[in-house]
Structure 1
Amino acid sequence: MGKAFVGLTVLLSTPASAQILDARAAQAIIAGCTAHAAAKKQSHAIAVVDAGGHLVAALRMDGNGSGIFDFSLAKAEAVAAWGFPTAQMEQSAKETPGFVNAPHVVAVPGGVPVWSAEGKARIGGVGVSGEAPIDDAACAEAGIAAAGLRSSRAR
């Protein structure tokens, strides 16, 4: 009983922001993405999911249809499932026969994992679609950075 209690104490003393992607952080990612898009006169659909792939926040900017949003959500779910960017999935699909047919694989850039500010915990994913794939990925990166989070593990 003592060991379980000690573990619970450690869990409760760790800040929630270090363990989960909450609504506040997800909205900050959305705001960062939209600021980036506005500066470039672009329009994206943005989906932010937690580590389990569950939608936390989303925005379909003007000019994007529902299919574009569905694609952004698929990108976010893919990085939540696999833990690495969809741009890397594109490369893996070229190098590994059958990988492209695995569950939750999206072989198009625009899906980026979200790591805690200190880069120690993967807490979710962002999927962006609506512009060229390189622009979608840059938008996701900008949103994550604007929220004070990381898009990769600390080294």
Structure 2
Amino acid sequence: MEDPTQQEQASPEVQARIRAGFDSQGLMGHLGARMTHIGPGCVHIALPSRPEVTQQHGYFHAGATSAIADTAGGYAAFTLFPENTEVLTVEYKINLLAPAVGDRIEAVGTVLKSGRTLTVCKLEVFGVQDGRRKLVANGQQTLIRVDRPAP
């Protein structure tokens, strides 16, 4: 996987809109997740390891893995949407390929096809330990673009 610092960055306006939305999500704050890259059609979210996000064997919980994957895909799609719109997940499927272990896990959401109404994203989650990455989950997601409600 490419180093996020070498990937294309979204415009400052798009980055501000994405960060504002992410920062308003209660679940991401509760989990301790943070956004590490915002590019056109690509978002990375990291989740540090701590007991509150693990399951009984000490691996990252599938719910935490799935939550950051869904969120990374949603914001990847949102980077390509007009300012007066919102994004909602229609469906997603995730395959857990290996126990999610490491200092952190990192979800990468990448837009495969952005449409007027529906957008499809690829979801990948990596376990990161001592700088080494291992793919622990992958999936696909469909999102819908909706108009932002008038204030």
TM-score after normalising by structure 1: 0.27
Larger radius of gyration: 1
| Higher normalized contact order (CA 8 Å, seq sep 6+, divided by chain length) | 1
Larger strand proportion of the pair? 2
